[in-house]
Amino acid sequence: MISLRRLLTLGLAAIIVFTTVVSGWFSYREGLREANELFDAKLAHSARVLQGLLDDSLSGAPDVPPPEPLVIEVWRAGPEHVADGEGELAFVQGHVYETELAFQVWDSNGRLRVHSEDGLVEPLAPLQAGFSRQTHLGQRWRVFAVRSESGHWYVVGEENQIRRSLARQIAAGIVIPPLLTLPLMIGLVWLLLGWGVRDLRGLVRQINARAGGRLDPIAVGRTPREVSVIIASVNALLGRLRSALERERRFTGDAAHELRTPITALRIHLDNLRFADDAVERQHAIESLELALQRLSRLIEQMLLLSRLEPGESVPHRAVLALRPCVEMVLDEPAITRLAAGFSLEVRFSDEELSVLADATSVELLVRNLLDNALRYTPDGGIVRLSLAAENGDQALLTIEDSGPGIPPEARERVFERFHRELGTERDGSGLGLSIVRRLVDVLGARIALDESPALGGLRVRVWLPLTRADDWSGSWSPPDDSP
């Protein structure tokens, strides 16, 4: 696994080298352009100085030219001058960059009258006014020509080498210092990164020193901002994990407590069956055992369902769903039919089609648990009424009320707690039905209210679900905020 410190150091070093080289290249191009401008100006100036010095004398000469052109010596700096200057470009006699000129003067008849001592007797360039680039003896030259009023052409040329040398020196002055100091920069970057990650080492030690069950948040301290964001995410994960473990421990403890009674009842009925004296007692023990097994099975199913509905679990797939078929499917279930055998079960549906954004399983579980709770706590021969209607045009109202004893106002919030059963109900139950309903209401984004039934005198449960239409659904959904 690559070290972040090493990766950043090498990456920064590569970036420095790359940018320095690129900068040197552009500096060379810019330096060459500036050198060309400067030396072109000096070249034109030299031609005009030469014209000013020689034009009058050449114009007054006889028509017959001398047998040989006039040769003028031009001083040039050599290696010995550079050595005398101990490596400096400027010295007593002049400067290394002092222009090395080759010049020629031609008359109007195309005869060479004056030239420099370099021995060039061929025209440096065509006798046309202005700048041009020429090649002589394999070297590139920059040439400037100007014509005087007397008809003489003054041609001055200079090799390009000095210009390129100057541009290279400018680029080298930009590239070489950063490259020479690159080891120092790498060392400083390495130390800076080491100083920056020192808190990470402390964070690693803090995490390694933690016990396996310690899930409290990690102290952020003086960690860099980028790292503190990671720590915040880890702390959020630890919080969710801590909540999940607490729910598991609570669920395990509650399950152990609640299963103790039905298991004890099973043992008692089994002992009664084992020591039954006659067929009547044996049959009674078998029936009691079957009933206890049914209660235990229902309790386990409800506990498993509640565990799956805990916060953080995946929400079932939602789609546009018609409510009436879901309610009718629950009413036709054998378990509900058997429970409703001794009651008057009244059902009322709205004529309009009511659709919600939900999944069939959650809606059926909601209706089933509410009906189961109403049927179990209503006395024999009582009335249970279920209605489904629209309200305010944007909500579906599911109402289930009974003629049972109801729930006192001060206890209506407690009944949603897991394994809570009101004293004096004289009914078997696990105390999980309304807990499951509460969680289903949260999953569906619905709202629930408990009060006294005005018509039947028992408990009335109302659940509001937001209505939707297939053509209105864009694939995203959030629960409503308004209250009933």
In whole angstroms, give the CA distance from residue 375 to residue 352.
27
Q: 447, 484 in Cβ contact below 8 A?
A: yes
Q: What is the mean pLDDT of residues 248-277?
A: 73
Q: What is the pLDDT of residues 172-194, one digit of tens each?
A: 777 788 778 888 888 888 888 77
Average pLDDT over residues 339-346: 85
Query: pLDDT digits over 203-221, tens only?
Result: 777 777 776 667 777 776 6
Checking 294-298 for CB contacts under 8 A at 24+ apart, the result is 295/262, 295/428, 295/430, 296/259, 296/262, 296/263, 296/266, 298/430
For residues 236-244, average pLDDT: 82
What radius of gyration, in Å, describes the C-alpha atoms of the chain?
A: 51
pLDDT at 51 over 80: yes
Contact 313, 352 (CB under 8 A): no
pLDDT tens-place string over residues 226-239: 677 778 888 888 88
Question: What residue type is assigned to position 479 of the chain?
Answer: P
Angstrom distances, CA of residue 361 to CA of 23, 48, 326, 332, 440: 68, 101, 9, 15, 10
Q: What is the mean pLDDT of residues 282-299?
A: 79
Q: How far apart are CA 153 and CA 145, in angstroms?
A: 7
Can you tell me the distance from the alpha carbon of 464 to that of 391, in angstroms, rounded to the nearest whole number?
9
Alpha helices by DSSP H, listed for 219-359, are: 225-274, 279-308, 323-331, 334-339
How much of the chain exceeds pLDDT 70, in percent?
A: 75
In the chain, the N- to C-terminal Cα span, in Å, equals: 58
Express each pLDDT in 378-434 by its tens digit: 888 899 999 999 988 889 999 999 998 888 888 777 777 765 554 444 444 445 667
What pTM was computed for the model? 0.45
Report which listed range, 116-125, 138-147, 234-243, 464-473, is most confident: 138-147
Q: How does pLDDT run across 75-115, given as a tens digit for each residue? A: 666 555 554 444 466 666 666 666 667 888 888 888 888 88
Whether 359 shows a pLDDT value over 50: the answer reads: yes
Amino acid at 330: V
Cα 167 to chain centroid, rounded: 46
Q: Which pLDDT score is estimated for 2?
A: 66
